[in-house]
Structure 1
Amino acid sequence: MTSDPIVPDDKDWTWVLGERCPECGFTAADVDPLQIGATVRDLVPRYVSALHRQDARERPAPTVWSTLEYGAHVRDVFRIFGERLDLMLEHDDPAFANWDQDAAARESRYDLQDPSVVADELIAAGEHTADRFDAVPADAWERTGRRSNGSVFTVRTLGQYFLHDVVHHLHDVHS
């Protein structure tokens, strides 16, 4: 296994809310927010299967995350977006704490985690976040929240943006 540095991704991916992603083909604007939870539940087994592959710890290139690293990242995406959704439902226009995904990967040593443990944690976090999206009241989809860079989301667009991340990284682990 290699632990070569990954070039930090400092792009603002909010553009996916208005355009089709050319890398994974996902169109966030087409997502029915009422289907976010079901879609997460459909995708989680594919991550679990990938995490049980023999090569899950191997990077396809020195500066590209392994399936294990992507799995740990997506587990954390489930957790972070579940927390952000809760903030938006419980508070008026909350500001989200900054989350540096690259720092999280380094500090938590995604590359050294146990793929089976990550798979179990990903299942639990995915189910929890799917349940949270399933429980959004009909009158709450337009509630707002803000990222530290000023990007404003509604509950609807947060869910669409979140789902792009999950789909995109599944594309990464199967490419």
Structure 2
Amino acid sequence: MVRDVTDTTPPADGIVPDTKDWTWVVERPCPECGFDPAAVDPLAVGDTVRATLPRWREALGREDARERPAPAVWSPLEYGAHVRDVLTLFDRRLHLMLTDDRAAFDDWDQDAAALEGRYAEAEPATVATDLTTAGDRIADRFDTVRPDDLERTGVRSNGSRFTVRTFGRYLLHDVDHHLHDVEA
């Protein structure tokens, strides 16, 4: 099921869909989490992703990993499942950017993915393992990026254009921002 992203009626899980365009974080610091895209070394994205994985495992190992801090806010478990899926999706997209001169990405409805993937019902230990695997996989792929790959492009279905450089920033913001969300 693909949900109309203009519909802000909370679904059965109580979460209002996030319809913000977050692409600005590739150019400006995020006032919510403090992420600064200017500080990202585009050839060290793999190491940076790997450095977040222990924090995710810790958050998912907490006693309260299944608890939402408020009815309309995801639990650490739900955020962890989302980040696992983001890492997997971004790995596929980075592969396209590195191998296809006209890389184009289909739309991904993160809210539909959460409902279909039953994030709230997942096992925290399984999500931690799967997130670590997905994180290692995309980190390994970013390790293959050479300086002459940094300006290769990919275009999202809404027209947002990324280079490998800005794509790494966008990914790192997502991972860091959600660590901020779960206070890890």
For residues 40-76 of structure 1, the C-alpha deviation after alignment (integer angstroms, 9 at most, x for no partner) is 1111100001101010000000000000000000001
Residue from 26, 29, 47 that aligns with 2:38: 29
Letter in 1 for 2:78: E
Amino acid in structure 1 at the alignment position of 2:91: G
Match runs of 1:114-153 below 5 Å: 114-153=123-162
Equivalences for 1:54-133 in 2 at 5 Å?
54-133=63-142
Equivalent pair of 1:6/1:63 in contact (CA under 8 Å) = yes
Aligned length: 173
Counterparts of 2:31 and 2:153 in 1: how far apart (Å)?
27
Structure 1 moving runs of 4+ over 3 Å = none
* Cα drift, residue 129 of structure 1: 0.3
Q: Is the 8 A contact 1:93 1:143 kept in 2?
A: no
TM-score of the two chains, using structure 1 as the length reference: 0.96
1:9-48 alignment runs, 5 A limit: 9-48=18-57
Q: Output one character per residue of 1:120-155: Cα deviation in whole Å (capped at 9) or x when no partner.
A: 000100000000001112211100000011000001
* Cα distance between partner residues in 2 of 1:73 and 1:93: 27
RMSD after superposition: 1.0
Cα distance in 2, alignment partners of residues 30 and 50 from structure 1: 25
State the SS of the aligned residue for 1:174.
coil
CA distance in 2: counterparts of 1:28 and 1:168, whole angstroms: 12
Q: Report the residue type matching 2:32 in the other structure.
A: E
8 A Cα contact 2:43 2:146, kept in partner: no
Question: Unaligned stretches of 5+ in structure 2?
Answer: 1-11
State the one-letter code of the partner of 1:128. R
Q: What stretches of structure 1 of length at least 5 have no aligned partner?
A: none
Which residue of 1 is the match for residue 174 of structure 2? Answer: 165
Larger proportion of helix: 1
